[in-house]
Amino acid sequence: MTIHREGYLIILISILILSGIQIGNYFLYQWTGWLWLFILLSLGVLVMAYLIIQFFRIPKRACVYTDSDIMCPADGKIVVIEEVEETEYFKDKRIQISIFMSPMNVHANYNPISGLVKYVKYHPGLFLVAWHPKSSTDNERSTFVIEHSSGKEVLFRQIAGAVARRICYYIEAGNNVSTGEEFGFIKFGSRIDVFLPIGTKVDVKIDDVVKGKLTRLAHFE
């Protein structure tokens, strides 16, 4: 396991702040003699440090797939599987699969398929809770489309949530990418929507817990 580069500065600042709190906690103990309060605050500092560091963890994973597989782009839970009208790029019916990422999940994001990046667009917006129906269209978000070697296109979208306030991505239109390569990161709770061609075979169901690079969302038939 490694720490994601997006976390270096946040972790450093957090450790400095938490260290200051712990120093203050020590002097408070020297002044009051309240051992129970010193222990309680010390535990709080350790828990906060652990939560911040674990949020930016990147586990080592091998992505095993076939050319027709559409792999999960993120860790989380499947909250939506439905046929919808995709209005930004395709402007037609697509199968939408949505993955909710809690603050406890790994937050690196991975390409669901290999191919040519046809479209990249960042949208500023609101910060509704990630499971809100309008979060897909009203929240801060970034949209990507990859064209598979078969000619089929998959759209996927990073969506900020009520806590997530920064979307990071590293691919551009015209890039050739591979399944399972990291394309971005979302800080502190979020959602990813994937839009698939009608007729794609879906391999997950609502409430499934999925893993980025490891779980097969669907496959082309």
Give the pLDDT confidence of 203-215 residue by residue, as tens digits: 999 999 999 999 9
What is the Cα–Cα distance from 104 to 6, expressed in whole angstroms? Answer: 16
Side-chain half-sphere of 211: how many Cα atoms within 13 Å?
A: 10
Q: In the chain, which residues have pLDDT < 70?
A: 125-138, 161-165, 188-189
The structure tokens listed for 174 are 């015209």
Where do the domains of the chain lie?
2-58, 69-219
- The Cα 128–Cα 136 span in angstroms is 10
Per-residue pLDDT, 162 = 56
Would you state the pLDDT for residue 112? 97
For residues 220 and 154, give the distance between their C-alpha atoms in angstroms, rounded to a whole number: 11
What is the spatial distance between Cα 115 and Cα 170, in angstroms, rounded to a whole number? 15
The radius of gyration of the chain from alpha carbons, rounded to an integer in Å, stands at 20
Q: Specify the pLDDT at position 161.
A: 67
Q: At what angle do helices 35-55 and 8-32 cross, to 10 degrees?
A: 180
Catalytic residue annotation: 190
What pTM was computed for the model?
0.84
Residue 57: both structure tokens together? 């963890």
Residue from 181, 214, 196 nearest 72 by CA: 214
The topology under which CATH files domain 69-219 is: Glucose Permease (Domain IIA) (2.70.70)
Q: What is the pLDDT, as a whole number, of residue 194?
A: 97
Residue 107: the pLDDT is: 86
Tally of helices (H runs) and strands (E runs) in the chain: 3, 16
CA-to-CA dists, residue 48 to 8, 43, 77, angstroms? 16, 9, 24
